Amino acid sequence: MGLLFGINGTISVKASRAVTVESTTPIAVVGTTNIGTLGLQFFGNVTLAMSAFAPASGQTVEGTLLDALKAIDAQGVSCPLIINAIDSEDPTEEIIIAGVNALKTAEAVTGYRPNLIVAPAFSAEVTVGLAMGAVAQKLWATAIIDVEGENESAALAVAANYGTRFALLVHPTEVTLDGFAMPSSAAWAGLIAYMDASSTYGWTESASNRIVQSVSATNRIIDYAEGEDSEARRLRNKGINTIVRDVGWRTYGFETTDIDTIWQPLNRVRTFYRMLRAMIEASRYARDRKADELLYVKKAIEEFMRGLKGAGVALGFKAYFDTTKNTKATVSNGQFYLTVEFQDMPTIRELNIELTYVDDYSDVLLNIING
């Protein structure tokens, strides 16, 4: 209602909002324990979580949770943790799966959305691994799943159950950290979170060919040789990613089991979904506002994409309102479609070097011997 008299003022905004990607990578851990508080809970870093589940003097530790935290901590990462602690006394497969499914509500409970999901030891059960993959798909996260197997054939048989871009299958299941057997999947999670935070665009990098800190052995040696057929190469070809001894203990592989080769490099999957999440969050303010705000939404996304291109993350991009999707009918109904085309910088997964003998330089020798 106008007051008709006096001087009245209002404040409005006609500007784009910055698109920013989360700088941290929350790791969700489903594990068992006989120490500490049970249930879904949040910790600001690994040190705080380890303190909450550390044994008192003379107390015996049971379960998988503390070892998982130690494996994450060994990678030198400081990131938020979402923990679903389950009683270590006879946990059934159904209880573990329920614990995994509870992560769907983690953001409502803790304020943080899981980006990496691990359930060390239990994820080796295919039913648990499949549940993790389903939750990861819903959250646009990555489930890191242990693949058990006493040999290559057994590992491949397990991997045949999976076909998703939202999971990373890892083998073998254990690494020796500081003299103790620790879960491999948790070490992978710590390494990926560390890589994500290592630079502004660390989350676009592949975590393959990286040193896994503090590792001195694995519970099964994987044959690997550069330039030759090897078990590690064959496993990677089927979406199983390994830790091999190669100038230290290194990750080898960063592939998903998706049927579409475009979505097999996990760094591409994580880059696209992390970007999309950031665009959605930055555009949330425009919901249910006048449609001219779309100009500022598009401008913000273009500025974000230019930053990615300048950093070498993107080869190129284009943002536009597609006229084939935005029709008079959709406009009248308040529905709009913004298309963002983007090609990421590919990762070197294979380099072929050809060494060829030629006799084109024989004259050099002839000139030498003839003085």
Contact predicate 298/286, CB 8 Å? no
Residue 371 has what pLDDT?
Answer: 73
- CA gap 153, 171 in Å, rounded: 12
pLDDT tens column, 29-85: 999 999 999 999 999 999 999 999 999 888 899 999 999 999 999 999 999 999 999
Low-confidence ranges of the chain (pLDDT < 50): none
Q: Is the dihedral of CA 277, 283, 289, 293 positive or negative?
A: negative
pLDDT tens column, 236-256: 999 999 999 999 999 999 999
User: In angstroms, what CA-CA distances link 189 with 69, 175, 275?
Assistant: 10, 13, 20
Residue 90 has what pLDDT?
Answer: 87
Residue 115 has what pLDDT?
Answer: 97
Q: Which residues contact 81 (CB under 8 A, 6 or more apart)?
A: 26, 27, 28, 29, 42, 43, 45, 46, 49, 69, 72
Residue 12 has what pLDDT?
Answer: 65
- Burial, 299: exposed, middle or buried (Cβ in 10 Å; 0-12, 13-18, 19+)? middle
